[in-house]
Amino acid sequence: MNIKAVILAAGKGTRMKSETTPKVLHKIMGKTLLGYVLDNVKRITDEQFIIVGHQADDVKNFIDKNYANAKTVLQSPQLGTGHAVSMVCPSLENYNDLVLILCGDTPLIKEETLTKFVEFHRSNNSDITVMSTIFENPTNYGRIVRENDNSLKCIVEEKDASPDQKLIKEVNAGIYCLDWSKVKSAFSQLKSNNAQGEYYLTDIISWGKTKNLSVNAYILENSDEIYGINSRSNLATATAIMNKRNLEKYMEQGVTIVDPNSTWISEDTEIGQDTVIYPSTYIEGKNKIGKNCKIGPFAHLRGEVEVCDNIKIGNYVEVKKSKISSNTNVGHLSYIGDSELGERVNIGAGTITANYDPLSKTKSKTVLGNDVKIGSNTVLVAPVKVEEGANIGAGSVVTKNIPAWSLGITRSPLKILENWVKNKLG
């Protein structure tokens, strides 16, 4: 594998109406749009270049923190998509293999699709391959115009298209595969003689034709995969498409989704066979759920959660960054955060792991050994450890470690004031 990726992520995303978050860092089920693109391209490329511009520092910080093989390249000012790609030319001066170009706001693209796209490029001995797709209503998209031999002739934008060209339903999907040794010189020769005064990536098609290069278009079967995010409405639509795709995958793998219309599960969650997900459950981020579990209804898994086999996470339970071992029950109305629960643990209703210190702004861990029983309405103030077999009485606030097979309880004596109500009523 010797493929580089260039991901365009410099745009402002004006229609998102966001002052604090760059468009590509908006999230779907706990994961950024750019994160989806990177995760699906990083397995088929050995290096990724992300073109940044608007709020560049935020995007760079995200990349530096999460992706070791990715590099950010600043585009300033932003003078179009062709200009954006030209920013990587110095870094790829001595590189002569394939370059894959994508947009950072298309989170639905699949790794399998990109693999097929590259295979098409190679098998057809292409120098330039553009991904296309078919839209019944192609309005506002660049039309794919083909030669008689079915190779790509040109891409015509809507405003420049003739009446006959506007009838074409095959459109530009905005993903490119380039033989870099043949095409890299194009980026120093593009012209900006258009109304916007920008350098367009699509112009490499006509440039390639003048150089007698092999230029082709690969038709993407599922047009949903190149759905771009430009607004909050687009974000909601993409989330729904992705969720439907995820739920279908889990059901094919032997997971019961009781109500797909009210259930949301991220693509980075693994779920074992015969697990049942009840209605109104929301699972975001990266998680691993075992076999024969029951999750929900109204459960929320917030990411970095490992749930072993035969677990019950009941209604109105929130779990975050925790491991729950086999045959454990977290029945209802509880919060489990930054915790490690052993096997055969029972968590009573209303139990809270108090993991956050607002003064130091630090989070600490709660550890429950095997066979621990926690009574209802208990607060476990981390850092704290309840060792094997210990029981905690209902209504307790636990601030100290509890030895194995002990009873921990904090409870004021019950007072009964006889006839108190009658006296009050006179």
pLDDT tens digits along 4-23: 999 999 998 899 999 999 99
Are 399 and 256 contained in the same domain? Answer: yes
Q: Is residue 414 part of a domain?
A: no
pLDDT digits (tens, 9 = 90+) for 139-174: 989 999 999 999 999 998 888 889 999 999 999 999
Query: What are the residue ranges in the chain where pLDDT is below 70?
Result: 1
Domain range spanning residue 325?
232-408
Q: Tokens 């209804």 appear where? A: 297
Active site residues: 332
Give dist(CA 355, CA 336) in Å, integer: 9
Q: Choose the final residue of a domain: 226, 249, 279.
A: 226
Residue 151 identity (one-letter amino acid)? S
Q: Choose the final residue of a domain: 187, 211, 226.
A: 226
Are 166 and 276 contained in the same domain? Answer: no
State residue 383's pLDDT score. 97
Which of 1, 11, 9 has the alpha carbon at shortest distance from 37?
A: 9
Are 142 and 160 contained in the same domain? Answer: yes
Q: Is residue 419 part of a domain?
A: no
Are 197 and 80 contained in the same domain? Answer: yes
Q: Choose the final residue of a domain: 171, 198, 226.
A: 226
Are 260 and 311 contained in the same domain? Answer: yes
Give dist(CA 341, CA 334) in Å, integer: 14
Are 259 and 343 contained in the same domain? Answer: yes
Are 43 and 17 contained in the same domain? Answer: yes
Q: Is residue 420 part of a domain?
A: no
State residue 1's pLDDT score. 59
Are 214 and 281 contained in the same domain? Answer: no
Q: Is residue 155 part of a domain?
A: yes
Give the chain's domain count: 2
CATH number at residue 218: 3.90.550.10
Q: Is residue 418 part of a domain?
A: no
CATH number at residue 289: 2.160.10.10
With residue 49 as reference, give the H or E element that holds it. Answer: strand 47-52
Are 97 and 245 contained in the same domain? Answer: no
Q: Is residue 129 part of a domain?
A: yes
Are 324 and 201 contained in the same domain? Answer: no
Q: Is residue 416 part of a domain?
A: no
Which of 374, 378, 380, 375 has the alpha carbon at shortest distance from 356?
A: 380
Give dist(CA 253, CA 260) in Å, integer: 15
Are 195 and 267 contained in the same domain? Answer: no
Are 271 and 363 contained in the same domain? Answer: yes
Q: Is residue 267 part of a domain?
A: yes
